[in-house]
Structure 1
Amino acid sequence: MVRYDTSPTARALLALEAIQDSPGITAQRLGDHLGVTERAARRYVAILREAELPIESVTGPHGGYRVGRGLRLPPLMFTAPEALGLVMAVLEGHRGAADPTELVGAALSKILRALPQQVAEPVRAVRHITGPPPDPSLRVDPVLTARLVEAWTSSRRVRLDYRLEDGRERPMEVDPWAVVLRHGRWYLLCWSHTSDAQRALRIDRVLSVFVTSQCFTAPEDLDALRALEEHLSQGWRHEVDVLLRADLDEATRWLPRSLGRLEVVDGGIRLLATTDDPDWYARQLANTPLAFEVVGSPALVQATEDLAARLVKAAGSAGPAPTPPTIADTPPAGTSPPDREVRQVQQQTNRGPRALG
């Protein structure tokens, strides 16, 4: 039942929502829904028509009102979970959603402008890092995700039930720092009071969420995407310790953040990470033009040696060596590789967490 002090404008919008939800609703039922007389309900329908909304009358003994098809869509009424679910589906399934100049991206921008700020702002922050999920089972519950977004934006601690990789369920108490879409998966970047450590939880494994009244303060200047990428590069079976003979700008340019954490040291840049697939990791290092030395991880040392032996064998059976490039063909020292080559390497290397995990 609508409150007695609801404004006429609000009642007109509620009348529109009722007609959209119940095509053929009678004036009497509409009045009961709004808490007004049948005559007043008809007056609100007239207001909608004056606003050029196509409200049609259905004839017959059970006639009523319905929204017709006009040149423009009438205002659509979404709950926050419904709107977030629609936006999430677009982000997951259409690459054009990241570009506001594309047709789908422009439509998404309109939806974002209509969302409550606490829902719209997090989505705006992640819309540029979209990608279709690798498996339909990874789609998340919009209602549950909306609760996490609400807790994140209001800085409220949550209690949740989480399904571990082995199928066991674990209750956790966490401070939700950010909701992030990356590599086709939705993650909750948080501080776990249960583990007393930073965690990146897959939201498709979150079974229930309870938002508490306890507030928290997130780290200042938190770069949620960077923190997530660095977190996803850690925690696997084999340690990675590589010395890159490059400066920080070069290393950052060629290596995605998901490949590991970079530290400036004497002699270059140190790359620290972990991996479950040393062979894959050795190929990613070989894809860059950077000189490097594996100084840790016996498994990665072996994988690098195996890759080198395979390349040497392939080069030995390839026939006569190609003619060395002339001076005119050789790019000047210090110049950057062609943009096409950069894009190819970036496309190959930007598979970190998926391949590492």
Structure 2
Amino acid sequence: MVSSWLVYPIEATPGVGGGYRFGAGGHMPPLLLEEDEVVAVTVALGVGAQGISAIGEPAVRALTKLDQVMPPRLRGEVAALADATALLPGATDDVDTGVLVVLAHAIRDRVRARFGYTGRTGEDSERDVEPYRLVATGRRWYLLAWDLRRQDWRTFRLDRMSGVRASTFRFTPRPTPDAVEHVRRAVTRSGYAHRVRVRLSADAADVRRRVPQAYGTATSLGPGLTELESSADDLGMLARHLTLAAFDLGARLTVVDPPELAAAIDEFTTRLADVRRGG
């Protein structure tokens, strides 16, 4: 038996083990969540369910409840985002949900996307791309796309986009590289203002447990010696993280490049010593 109370479909099961539950296709209650808020909450819960172990199970339960009362049209919005998004481990920065929805629809519908883009050195350009995949890393959201001007695969940070819009020009899908690996390599290579290499007197497995892949790539150079590549916009922040990682591992830290990182580490450790002395 299916009945309705207000705008909710209610499914009732008779008998000793029976009861009531929300049916599928109900409308969101008025004055509680706007449609864009429903999409935003669902996206946030999806990221939490995939990537943050402490809230993964509650996020899945909440997603299930939302799905039961979500109107079919909004379920299509959410499904488009889910199909278009991949996740690397770790929490992500805030991102405009409207940008996510526009890009997810462009990916789903196989239409070109256009946007203004500010590169890491501050130059502005207009981009016309074939969008293929959204990837959430430990710190950023990225779009993997075929850049029509450069005729090559490119990754774009969503927080550097402006005026994002989907066009009406459809495209035929190309053979696509693995989105997660492509973004990981691109981020390590040039996604941030500073790229560094250090060596730690620790096994690679231990370094990987301390430094997630989203934050650095660890390569074994032999027993008890690992080279770590990492990137950041703030060199001082990177110096702090690497120093603390070496401390936690009980490892010796040697800077390979750039020399500015060694200076930043010296500055950080000097400040720590001043704090210890009360200076």
Q: TM-score, length-normalised on structure 2? A: 0.65
1:201 matched to 2:157? The reply is: yes
Report the 3-state secondary structure (helix = DSSP H, G, I; strand = E; otherwise coil) of the residue aligned with 2:61: helix
Q: Deviations over 1:187-246 (max 9, x none)?
A: 312343433343133176351123523111112xx262x543553344334441211222
1:161 matched to 2:119? The reply is: no
Number of matched residues? 242
User: Which of 90-99 and 284-293 deviates more?
Assistant: 90-99
Deviation, structure 1 residue 259: 2.9
1:240–1:272 contact (8 Å) kept in structure 2: yes
**What are the residue-to-residue correspondences of 1:155-234 with 2, within 5 Å?**
156=110, 158-164=112-118, 168-176=124-132, 178-182=133-137, 186-195=141-150, 196-202=152-158, 205=162, 207-210=164-167, 212-219=170-177, 222=178, 224=180, 227-234=182-189
Q: Deviations over 1:164-208 (max 9, x none)?
A: 2658450322351x2133457543123434333431331763511
Query: For residues 100 and 266 of structure 1, what CA distance do their matches in structure 2 show?
Result: 36
2:236–2:265 contact (8 Å) kept in structure 1: yes
Report the 3-state secondary structure (helix = DSSP H, G, I; strand = E; otherwise coil) of the residue aligned with 2:4: coil
Deviation, structure 1 residue 302: 1.0
Q: Which amino acid aligns with 2:154?
A: Q
Q: Deviations over 1:134-154 (max 9, x none)?
A: xxx734346413313415xxx
Unpaired runs of 5+ residues, structure 1, are: 1-49, 56-66, 319-357
1:148 matched to 2:99? The reply is: no
Structure (1 or 2) with the larger CA radius of gyration: 1
Of 238, 253, 259, 1:298 maps to: 259
Of 92, 105, 120, 2:44 maps to: 92
Match of 1:277 in 2: 234
Of 52, 55, 61, 2:3 maps to: 52
- CA gap of 1:183–1:285, structure 2 versus 1, over 3 A, is closer
- CA gap of 1:247–1:129, structure 2 versus 1, over 3 A, is closer
1:109 matched to 2:38? The reply is: no
**What are the residue-to-residue correspondences of 1:74-93 with 2, within 5 Å?**
75-76=25-26, 86-92=38-44
1:230–1:258 contact (8 Å) kept in structure 2: no
Query: For residues 175 and 123 of structure 1, what CA distance do their matches in structure 2 show?
Result: 10
2:239–2:261 contact (8 Å) kept in structure 1: yes
- CA gap of 1:52–1:168, structure 2 versus 1, over 3 A, is same
- CA gap of 1:172–1:125, structure 2 versus 1, over 3 A, is closer
Q: TM-score, length-normalised on structure 1? A: 0.53
Query: For residues 100 and 273 of structure 1, what CA distance do their matches in structure 2 show?
Result: 27
Match of 2:80 in 1: 119
**What are the residue-to-residue correspondences of 1:258-337 with 2, within 5 Å?**
258-265=214-221, 268-288=225-245, 289=249, 290-315=251-276, 317=277
